[in-house]
Amino acid sequence: MHIREQFPALHQKVYGKPLVYLDNGATSQKPKMVLDVLQEMEGKLNGNVHRAVHYLSMQCTERYEKARVVIRDFINAASENEIIFTSGTTASLNLLAYSFGQTYVRPGDRIIVTEAEHHSNIVPWQMMCQRTGALLEVWEIDDTGALDPKKLEQILDKPGEVPRLLAITHVSNVLGIVNPLSEIIRIAHYYNVPVAVDGAQGIVHKKVDIREMDADFYAFSGHKLYGPTGTGVLYGKEKYLEEMVPWQGGGDMIETVSLRKGTTYAQLPLKFEAGTANFTGVAGLKAAVEFVNSLDAKAIEEHERKVTLKALEALGQIDGCRILGMPGTYYGQIYEKIPVFSMIIEGAHPADMATLLDKMGIAVRSGMLCAEPLLERFRVTSVLRASFALYNTLDELDFFVESLKKVLKMLR
C-alpha cells in the first residue's frame, strides 16, 4: 500500500479543496495502524498499568513495557531502564532540567544552550538556573545557521568555570539544519561535559543510534513521529538516571511509603514515571515506531532529499525570498537540511501568506515558531514555515510553490 493511503487525515478536503498538509514540524498525521491501536486500547483493553492482577490491567502493562523495548531498540539504547515515558519533548526536558539540576548543579556552574533552540530547550534551563544559581551561556550560530565548534571549545575551556551541561537541538525546527552531533558530543565529552539533545525534529527525519551518537540524554515527542499526542520519551544514560533524584512524586514511582520513615523510590525506569501512565498513548507510540520501522528508510531519505533540493531551488527563485538555514559544509562538517523551510518574503507578512494559503487548502505555519531568540538573531519577528513529512509528494511541493506565487501577487 502506498504510504499516503495509510493516513486517513490526508484524504480530506478543507474549504472544499484537497488538504495539502505542510505543518508536520508542528505535528504529523497518524497512520491507520496507530489509530486502530488507540481505538482498541480505549475501547477494549482499558485497565490501569502496573497495578492489578486482572486480565485487562495485565494486557495493558504488557503492551506498555513491550513499547519500552521497541523504543529501546529503535534508538539502540543499551537498556530499557534508559527509556522514560513522558508526555512529550517539553515534559522530557523539564524532567531533565529539574532532576539533573537538583542532583548535579551548583551555584556558578554553567549550562550551555545554542542560539537555535526551541523555547522548550531554553526555558527549563533558565528555570533550573534560577533554582540552582547556575548561569546560562549561549553558543551562537553563524549566518547560515551552523555552529562553529571552536566557539564551543572557547566556552568549555574557560579557566575557573564549570560547564555542567550542553543542551542542543538535533535539528532546529526553524532552520531544519541537522547539527553534526557526533563531533559536538565528542568535543563536549573531552571536557567531561554531558550533552542533552532535543530530538523533537531530529528523530523524525534521521535514524538515531544513541550509542553511536553517544548523547547522554535525548528527548522526543510521539506526535511528531506519527504517534499519539501526549506521548514522549526521555532517553538517559543509566549512570545518570540512577543518580538523579526523581522529579514528580506519586503512585508507581515508589518502593515503600511510610508516614514515619519517609519514602523509598522505585528502580529505573519507574522512578521517573509518577502517576497513571499514558498507557493508551504509549501503545500507540509503539505502533508508530513499528510503522516507521516497516518503511524503506533509504527510499524515504532519498525522497526527502529530493524534496529539500527542489524546494530550495524553487523557493530561491521567488523574488525577495530569504530562507533561513542553508545546508553545506562548514567548519569541516556536513550540515544537512531536512525538508523544513522557514522563509521571509519581502513585501508580504507571514500571517497573511499563511491565511491565504490556508484558503487554498494548504496548511503551513507562521509566527515565531517557539524560537524567539533565533528569530531575533536573524532580525525578524515572524516567518512562514512549510515542513514536509515522508508522505508529502513532489506534486504537493509544486502546488505549494505555485500557490505561494499567486498569494504574493495578491499581497504585493
Distance, CA of 407 to CA of 412 (rounded, Å): 9
Distance, CA of 384 to CA of 323 (rounded, Å): 10
Report the C-alpha dihedral over residues 210, 216, 220, 226, rounded to 10 degrees.
10
Question: In the complex with ligand PLP, which residue's Cβ is closer, 59 or 218?
Answer: 218
CB 27 to ligand PLP: min, Å: 8
Task: Label residue 107 exposed, middle or buried (CB < 10 Å: 0-12, 13-18, 19+).
Answer: exposed
Task: Label residue 38 exposed, middle or buried (CB < 10 Å: 0-12, 13-18, 19+).
Answer: middle
Q: Which residues, 6+ apart, have CB-to-CB distance to 113 below 8 Å?
A: 121, 122, 125, 136, 137, 138, 139, 166, 167, 168
Q: Binder to ligand PLP among 81, 90, 179, 366 (CB under 6 A)?
A: 90
Q: Binder to ligand PLP among 24, 61, 81, 120 (CB under 6 A)?
A: 120
Choose the binding region for ligand PLP from 117-125, 208-216, 324-332, 338-346 (rule: CB under 6 A).
117-125
- Cell numbers for 179: 547539527
Choose the binding region for ligand PLP from 8-16, 133-141, 195-203, 333-341 (rule: CB under 6 A).
195-203
Closest CA relative to residue 312, chosen from 269, 342, 278: 342
Question: In the complex with ligand PLP, which residue's Cβ is closer, 57 or 94?
Answer: 94
Residue 143: helix, strand or coil by DSSP?
coil
- Known active-site residue 129: no
DSSP string of 83-140, one letter each residue: EEEESSHHHHHHHHHHHHHHHH--TT-EEEEETT--GGGTHHHHHHHHHH--EEEEE-
Q: Binder to ligand PLP among 201, 278, 308, 366 (CB under 6 A)?
A: 201
CB 323 to ligand PLP: min, Å: 18
Choose the binding region for ligand PLP from 66-74, 86-94, 176-184, 257-265 (rule: CB under 6 A).
86-94
Choose the binding region for ligand PLP from 114-122, 139-147, 156-164, 323-331 (rule: CB under 6 A).
114-122
Residue 221 is a binding residue for ligand PLP (CB under 6 A): yes
Residue 237 in contact with residue 75, Cβ under 8 Å?
no
Residue 89 is a binding residue for ligand PLP (CB under 6 A): yes
Choose the binding region for ligand PLP from 4-12, 101-109, 128-136, 197-205 (rule: CB under 6 A).
197-205
Which member of 60, 129, 321, 370 is catalytic? Answer: 370
Residue 122 in contact with residue 90, Cβ under 8 Å?
no
Residue 169 is a binding residue for ligand PLP (CB under 6 A): yes
CB 152 to ligand PLP: min, Å: 19
- Cell numbers for 60: 495493558
CB 16 to ligand PLP: min, Å: 30
- Please give the span between the terminal C-alpha atoms of the chain, in angstroms, as a whole number: 43
Question: In the complex with ligand PLP, which residue's Cβ is closer, 173 or 280?
Answer: 173
Q: Binder to ligand PLP among 88, 246, 325, 327 (CB under 6 A)?
A: 88
**Residues labelled catalytic:** 370
Residues that bind ligand PLP (CB under 6 A): 26, 88-90, 118, 120-121, 169, 173, 198, 200-201, 221
